[in-house]
Amino acid sequence: MTQSEILGVITFLVILVVAAIPFGEWMAKVFNGEKNILSFIFRPIERIIYKIGGIDETEEMDWKGYAKALILFNVIGFFAVFALQLLQKFLPLNPQKFGAVHWDLALNTAVSFITNTNWQAYGGENTMSYLTQMLGLAVQNFVSAAVGVAASLALIRGFIRKTTPLLGNFWVDLTRTTLYVLLPVSIITAVIFISQGMPQTFHPYVEAQTLEGAKQVIAVGPVASQIPIKQFGSNGGGFFNVNSAHPYENPTPLTNLLELFGLLFIPVSLVFMFGALLKQRKQGVSIFSAKLVLFLLGLFTILFFETRGNPLLAQLGVNHGLNMEGKEVRVGLVPSALWAQMTTVTSNGSVNAMHDSMMPIPGLVEMFNLATSCVIFGGVGVGLIGMLFYVMVTMFIAGLMIGRTPEYLGKKLEPFEMIMVTIGILASAVTLLALAGTAIATPVGLSSLNNAGPHGLSEIFYAYASGVANNGSAFAGLNANTLFYNLTIAFAMLVGRFTVILPALAIAGSLAKKRITPSSVATFSTTSPLFVALLVSVVLIVGALTFFPALTLGPLLEHLLLHIGRTF
């Protein structure tokens, strides 16, 4: 890795943070209902939506009402996406005449997109019509991201408010997130993508004649309108099967840069929005600092092992051992490694290189990122919730150390909150280990595996880790389009989504009813370097204790065997 590449990574991260801080502050104004620069465009539209939906924007909900509205919205979304896939043969905007999607794949895909996972056990250009891609999948890319932000807003209000059960209005939070946050960045980015040659058409696929005289079908479609929200909404579901490694989904260095930017922009902005809503900006900076430390630890581990290359290739004198397998040569090794880290610390499963082809230790880092539910930056909204769960665990530990009832932001953390936090952290982990263990121990789970040994274990573990983390990226080497994997991964995605959101809403409801305890000299500071170090340690220790056996028998064992000449 050259100095210029290191400088490029640092410059990119600095630009990202510099852009995210004011955007986070602006989002705080939007969700407080304050007038902003886009009000003259979207405020009339917002009012029309409320009128059509019969929504009183001044009426607030308690946590149970908020949860009921959220669940109802997701149930409707599931059946809409499910039905579109089953009926796409009879619907318009299907120039390739694709038939109905098989029921188990349709169910898996519907669950995937309502949970903001965007796991794709299918090839988009070979399975889904233009209408299904736009009306079903792209719409869910917007609203599933907005649901995550809405849930995080409810939790934040739980810390801000006192002696009230009210947490805001789900429908208002959903509408404002979509209109003021997701739509503008997606529209602007789509225009740039079109200027870079990304297709945006309803014409059928193009038939071309190769130099050998054979016919080749080149897939096109309404691509540019869907890729921005794929990135900015922490979705990751690509129009094409190989995602952003496809030259039409990622045609130029500029599109690669913007797609990288989109991966982290809103998750980082939400952390600063958190501080702005609290009117304690140092709190947002503190949590961001912990996230950044965890991110950089993983990033430089991936870069170190990927740039060292493959020792077996080095012995053969191939390209100095540089591991370019699975990398898009237009992009290169370092941007591919950066993308791999960024896509697994968020619940965004987009890729510009194949993770299955990474060296074993980078694969370990990616799996650790996923297994900890992507809390390092996480999905839009839900990632902030996940890190706040770890903050509460940290404060619980700190409370034990100093002999005080744990509290955060003036709210006491009592047994109910800690039970909900435990569910939010461990439910996904238990589900991941149980399902991966079942797949490894049964013929039906092993029947579609292409690799033996520790690499095969990694492929199965990664699939379920991606599901419970609502990430959606795949390690490849595993045919997940089977009845067993479609149903079990769908279950993993539901667990990963709702065992985080629903406990968060319950915690918010409990906290909002409490008084705010003024800080004193005995209050443990949550803006100090000590707190950041403790929070980072808690995330690393909980992740290591939970997943050490699986990671040891998978990527770590493969790394050791690679150096004695064993491959899988």
The predicted structure's pLDDT at residue 260:
94
Q: What's the rounded Cα separation, in Å, for the pair 411 and 384?
A: 18
Q: What's the rounded Cα separation, in Å, for the pair 11 and 335?
A: 13
- Enter the pTM of the model: 0.94
In a domain, 1, yes or no: no
Hey, is 141 helix, strand or coil? helix
Gyration radius of the chain over CA positions: 23
Tracing tokens 């919730």 back to the chain, one arrives at 385
Name the token pair of 262: 């989109």
Quick check: 182 and 229 in contact, CB under 8 A? yes
Identify which of 295, 293, 276, 292 has the alpha carbon closest to the alpha carbon of residue 284. 276
Q: What's the rounded Cα separation, in Å, for the pair 317 and 329?
A: 19
**DSSP letters along 341-353, please?**
HHHHTTT----SB
Identify which of 390, 364, 395 has the alpha carbon closest to the alpha carbon of residue 377. 390
In a domain, 386, yes or no: no
pLDDT of the chain along its 568 residues, tens only? 677 778 888 999 999 999 999 999 999 999 999 999 999 999 999 999 999 999 999 999 999 999 999 999 999 999 999 999 999 999 999 999 999 999 999 999 999 999 999 999 998 899 999 999 999 999 999 999 999 999 999 999 999 999 999 999 999 999 999 999 999 999 999 999 999 999 999 999 999 988 888 889 999 999 999 999 999 999 988 899 889 999 999 999 999 999 999 999 999 999 999 999 999 999 999 999 999 999 999 999 999 998 888 887 777 777 666 777 778 788 888 889 999 999 999 999 899 988 888 899 999 999 999 998 888 998 899 999 999 999 999 999 988 887 778 899 999 999 999 999 999 999 999 999 999 999 999 999 999 898 889 999 999 999 999 999 999 998 878 899 999 999 999 999 999 999 999 999 999 999 999 999 888 777 888 999 999 999 999 999 999 999 999 999 999 999 999 888 887 7
In a domain, 247, yes or no: yes
Name the token pair of 111: 């669950």
In a domain, 509, yes or no: no
Structural domain boundaries, residue 255: 23-279
Quick check: 288 and 271 in contact, CB under 8 A? yes
Quick check: 464 and 434 in contact, CB under 8 A? no
The predicted structure's pLDDT at residue 470:
94
335 Cβ neighbours under 8 A, 6+ residues apart: 256, 260, 352
The predicted structure's pLDDT at residue 471:
94
Q: What total of structural domains would you count in the chain?
A: 1
In a domain, 194, yes or no: yes
**CB-based burial of residue 231 (10 Å sphere; 0-12 exposed, 13-18 middle, 19+ buried)?**
buried
Handedness of CA 157, 76, 235, 390 (dihedral sign): positive
In a domain, 383, yes or no: no
Q: What's the rounded Cα separation, in Å, for the pair 262 and 348?
A: 10
In a domain, 66, yes or no: yes
Name the token pair of 548: 């050490």
**Residue 418 one-letter amino acid:** M
171: β partners: none
Name the token pair of 443: 């013929």
CA angle 494, 495, 497 (to 5 degrees): 65
Q: What's the rounded Cα separation, in Å, for the pair 327 and 341?
A: 14
Quick check: 224 and 199 in contact, CB under 8 A? yes
Q: What's the rounded Cα separation, in Å, for the pair 467 and 472?
A: 6
Quick check: 102 and 86 in contact, CB under 8 A? no
Q: What's the rounded Cα separation, in Å, for the pair 75 and 70?
A: 9
In a domain, 365, yes or no: no
Neighbouring CB atoms inside 10 A of 278's CB total 16
